[in-house]
Amino acid sequence: MSQTSCCQGTHAACTERFEIELQSPDDLVIALAGNPNTGKSTVFNALTGMNQHTGNWAGKTVGSAIGRFRHREHSFTLVDLPGTYSLLSQSADEQVARDFICFGNPHATLVVTDATNLERNLNLALQVMEVTDRVVVAVNLMDEAKRKGITIDLAGLQEQLGVPVIPLSARKGEGLPELKDMLLKVALGEVQPAPKLLPYSEEVERAVADLLPQVEPLVGGVLRPRWVALRLLDGDESVLAALEQYTLEPPRQIRSGEVVIPQ
């Protein structure tokens, strides 16, 4: 299954809604997500060198750095999202990260994880995979994990997740060429990740199934109905507000009382 990123649309989305200037329409846009303290900024700096600046997104008070790099004749724009533990929109940081992955229409999303602390880090990766297929997971701080005697079965991890997994030691620059190659392939569609999304437990799945017929006509084609249904069950309505804010032509006006969450 290789449906494209959840957001159909052009990269005008990036420039108009998130005030990110692309140098050319051919720029490949990569969103950079990760927990705090995973060396995300180190990865960002290692990829972009000094070629970066800090931006401030329209309507949001959360800043974000934007950097550029070239790889194999292609130019990339890397958008450094705020470090978050989840996409559940508990804070302004999380909303910004979620909104960009959903509506900024990046060509790929890179989730940086900490090899010494995968257990906490994979939660975010799994959540990002629910939003978009085009995910690359970088397992950073491999050198530190090695020093601590932690071994990671990377092939097994890739198998379990269904998306490319690249080992990194960003501080030493190890793994960067491989990472750039993989980002390019995913961005161009040469590699099509197929996230393995396991079903939730029975009651959640039942509630999703009940809700889906109502959500599908509202958000279909813009967001993944399943994901939106999950968010609504989550009690998070900001996703609908964001949908109205970020889509140029909302699929349909959502009126009060149209979506009824089954008890």
Partner 1 sequence: MQNVQQADTSALRDQMVSDIYARTEAIVSQTVTLPENKTQLDFDRRLDNVLTSRWLGYPIMLLMLGTVFYVTIAGANVPSGLLADFFFWIEGYLTAVFTWLGTPAWVHGVLIEGLYRGTAWVVSVMLPPMAIFFPVFAILEDFGYLPRVAFNLDRFFKKAGAHGKQALTMSMGFGCNAAGVTACRIIESPRERIIAIITNNFVPCNGRFPTLITLATLFMGGAVGLAYGSLVATGVVVGLVLIGISATLSVSWLLSKTLLRGIPSNFTLELPPYRKPQFGRLMIRSVYDRTIFVLKRAVIVAAPAGVATWILANIFVGDLSILQHAALFLDPFARAIGLDGYILMAFILGLPANEIVLPILIMSYLSTGAMTEMDSLAELKNLFLSYGWTWLTALCMMLFSLLHYPCGTTMWTIAKETKSTKWTLVAILLPTGIALGVCFLVAQTVRFFGWV
- Binding-site member from 15, 41, 52, 117 for partner 1 (CB under 8 A): 117
- The Cα–Cα gap between 68 and 48 comes to 5
Got the DSSP string for 154-168? Answer: HHHHHHHHSS-EEE-
Q: Which is nearer to partner 1, 134 or 231 (CB)?
A: 231
Angstrom CA distances, 19 to 15, 104, 169, 201, 225, stand at 5, 10, 31, 40, 27
Q: Which is nearer to partner 1, 23 or 201 (CB)?
A: 201
Q: What are the φ and ψ backbone dihedral angles of 4, each rounded to 5 degrees?
A: -70, 180
- Binding-site member from 204, 210, 250, 251 for partner 1 (CB under 8 A): 204
Q: State whether the Cα torsion 234-240-242-246 is positive or negative.
A: positive
Entry field: residues in the chain: 263
Task: List all residues 6 or more positions away from 112 whose beta carbon is below 8 Å from its beta carbon.
Answer: 32, 33, 34, 38, 39, 40, 43, 138, 140, 168
- Binding-site member from 55, 62, 71, 226 for partner 1 (CB under 8 A): 62
Using CB under 8 A as the binding rule, whether residue 234 contacts partner 1 is answered as yes
Q: Which residue from 246, 189, 205 is spatially nearest to 223, judged by alpha carbons?
A: 246
Q: Which is nearer to partner 1, 60 or 185 (CB)?
A: 60
- Binding-site member from 12, 51, 189, 200 for partner 1 (CB under 8 A): 200
Using CB under 8 A as the binding rule, whether residue 237 contacts partner 1 is answered as yes
Closest contact distance (angstroms) between CB of 72 and partner 1 is: 27
Using CB under 8 A as the binding rule, whether residue 152 contacts partner 1 is answered as yes
Angstrom CA distances, 209 to 102, 181, 258, 263, stand at 22, 39, 16, 13
Q: Which is nearer to partner 1, 22 or 152 (CB)?
A: 152
Using CB under 8 A as the binding rule, whether residue 116 contacts partner 1 is answered as yes
Number of residues engaging partner 1 in binding (CB under 8 A)? 56
- Binding-site member from 4, 147, 221, 252 for partner 1 (CB under 8 A): 147
- Binding-site member from 2, 3, 36, 209 for partner 1 (CB under 8 A): 36
Using CB under 8 A as the binding rule, whether residue 49 contacts partner 1 is answered as no
- Torsion angle defined by CA atoms of residues 249, 250, 255 and 256, in that order, rounded to the nearest 10 degrees: -130
Q: Are 138 and 115 in contact (CB under 8 A)?
A: no
Using CB under 8 A as the binding rule, whether residue 73 contacts partner 1 is answered as no
**Contacts with partner 1, residue ranges (CB under 8 A):** 36-37, 61-63, 90-93, 116-119, 122-123, 126-127, 144, 147-154, 156-157, 160-161, 171, 198, 200-201, 203-204, 207, 230, 232-235, 237-238, 240-241, 254-263
